[in-house]
Amino acid sequence: MTSARPDSTTRPGLAPIELVGRDERLRIDFPLALAPMAGISDRPFRQLCFDQGAGLVVNEMISSKPELRNTRKSEQRRIRPDDPEPRAVQLLGNEPHDLAEAARQAYRDGAQLIDLNLGCPAKKVCRKAAGSALMAEPDTVARLLEAAVEAVPCPVTLKMRTGPDEDWRNAPEIARIAEEAGIAMLSIHGRTRAQKYTGRAEYDTIARVVAERRIPVLANGDIESVDKAVEVLESTGAAGLMIGRAAFGRPWLFAQLRAALEGRTVPSEPGPVEVMGFVREQFENIYRHYGNVMGVRIARKHWGWYSSRLPIAEGTRKEFNRLETIESQRRWLDRREAELRSVSSPSAAPTA
């Protein structure tokens, strides 16, 4: 990416934070995090966002239910020793014993941080009284958090929303329960469960939690630009930021945010050839991680986000989704990249 001129406006920065667990401490040097997102924040995408400047990349959520813990999907999501540090795993569950066992397993796998999910608004999660549905059950939340904190020596964190709905924004209450249970950090999405991903995120509730609690808070929701990141930090006083949907097909957002918050020149948006470079890097890692069948399908999903940023006709973009093998996808991307390079190359100088 080329670089834009530095903004002369004084911007807030981010300081390292230390998370305190039952017996272990963990330092996050730069609290700019990739949110845990099922089907998105897999190992290939986490590595790419980490390389672009994210200081924390949280694994996709893993169910704590024993019957789901060792499925193929859960196996693919398990943390590995070569994952970027600090290695963070998010767990989903509504039963204290199962959640504690899943936390212990994740820690044995090499997790240095356990994150608990009170933020997912998906119907299939909430109808099982898990995810953001638990925001309406403070007593259950207390039991779950205490069980998880007691189960592992490493720090345990919590991802949550502002409340069940606009008439019950109980994030301050849940945050108090979390701090008393020994939770080391909170990440708060500025929407209620009822909102899902509609409407706008609000940050007043996050600011109240920051003011009332001693543990660090990451602000999350609608942070899609440097200006928005600065606005959210200033309005909430949060210790850091968590980026979710804004990073879809745009991992370089982390490089831009980190540069701005460190007072460096902010890289400009990448050109088409540079975007294709991100595509090729991520897709090769996808192929290695998932293999031929799943790798092809996962690549199609990410291509939808990347391709919207490329000057490629819609009909041509959709051709990619009909390809059935890794090699056919590679050859197709080779052709598109060659076309983009030929268009972006400066014209040859005229000869005398």
pLDDT tens per residue across all 352 residues of the chain = 645 444 445 567 899 999 999 999 999 999 999 999 988 999 999 999 999 999 999 999 888 888 776 777 777 888 888 899 999 999 998 899 999 999 999 999 999 999 999 856 554 554 454 566 888 889 999 999 999 999 999 999 999 999 998 899 999 999 999 999 999 999 999 999 888 899 999 999 999 999 999 999 999 999 999 999 999 999 999 999 999 999 999 999 999 999 999 999 999 999 999 999 999 999 999 999 999 999 999 999 999 999 999 999 988 989 999 999 999 999 999 999 999 999 876 554 444 3
Tokens of 317: 């973009």
Tokens 């209620």 sit on residue: 192
**Integer Cα distance of 233 and 235 in angstroms:** 6
Q: Which of 49, 120, 126, 154 is catalytic?
A: 120
Residue partners of 200: CB distance under 8 A and separation at least 6: 222
Tokens of 111: 């997790």
Residue of 300, 301, 309, 308 lying closest to 328 (CA atoms): 300
**Integer Cα distance of 171 and 202 in angstroms:** 12
Angle among Cα 179, 182, 188 to the nearest 5 degrees reads 45
Quote the distance between the C-alpha of residue 293 and its chain's center: 25
C-alpha dihedral sign at 187, 193, 196, 201: negative
| Cβ atoms of 37 and 67 closer than 8 Å | no
Adjacent-strand bridge partners of 20: 25
- In this prediction, residue 231 carries a pLDDT of 97
Residue of 116, 91, 88 lying closest to 102 (CA atoms): 91
Cis peptide before 86 (omega within 30 of 0): yes
Residue partners of 210: CB distance under 8 A and separation at least 6: 217, 236, 237, 238, 239
- pTM of the entire predicted model: 0.91
Counted residue by residue, the chain has a size of 352
- In this prediction, residue 349 carries a pLDDT of 43
- In this prediction, residue 38 carries a pLDDT of 87
Assess whether 120 carries a catalytic annotation. Answer: yes
